[in-house]
Structure 1
Amino acid sequence: MTTAADALVELLAALARRQHEHRSITASRLTAVIDSGLLPTELHEMATYYRAKAHRDIGHSQDSRRGYQQVADGGGCLAHAARRGLAQAPRLAGDFPTTFERTLG
């Protein structure tokens, strides 16, 4: 990737293919897009959010939480969804008391 257009094409292709390929491939493709540094903030946030979801799906919970936290801290349009992902992370790890506390407490 050498231009913002290249990064955008790869982002959109990774998102379009994420239901048809292993999440580790999606995470890898999105990492390449993020590491390129070619996307504007909003699209960088989108790549980070969907990489966090892919990490969650393949069991990389710390990487997932880190990505969700970065998006939530950014306060953009995906911040609410990222906070929801953070709230559900303990549930996926089997920590139901923490999940209850975060969602109802």
Structure 2
Amino acid sequence: MVAHRKPKHRLLERELTACVDPTVAMKATFSSPSVGSCVSARPEKKNNQYTFANRCDFMGPVSTVITVHSEESYTEQNELSEGQMPRVELVVAHRIGDCGAGPEQNSGAKTLSH
């Protein structure tokens, strides 16, 4: 879900089912490289949450909170507060079954709701 911060109206909602390796996906998130003048902060862990005060993302510098609900479910909330259009992106991911037989599809299908 992408929404304006103040009026809180939904701009876009979509659902995607994809075969992903959550370990690879999380490694990419946790190793966000510096982009231009944006330098990613190290995450802080508290209970089942990982918080990045600043993470370089496709949206720009964002504040990110990843909440792990179980081995098969997590949410990721990204807040962009800079620029003319502050917004929030919420990703809800959960395992729905095994992937196909292809070698690149060996971990588990996940439904990602944006």
| TM-score (structure 1 length as normaliser) | 0.29
More helix by share: 1
Higher alpha-carbon Rg: 2
Normalising by structure 2, what TM-score?
Answer: 0.27
Quick one: higher RCO (CA 8 Å, sep 6+), 1 or 2?
2
Higher strand share: 2
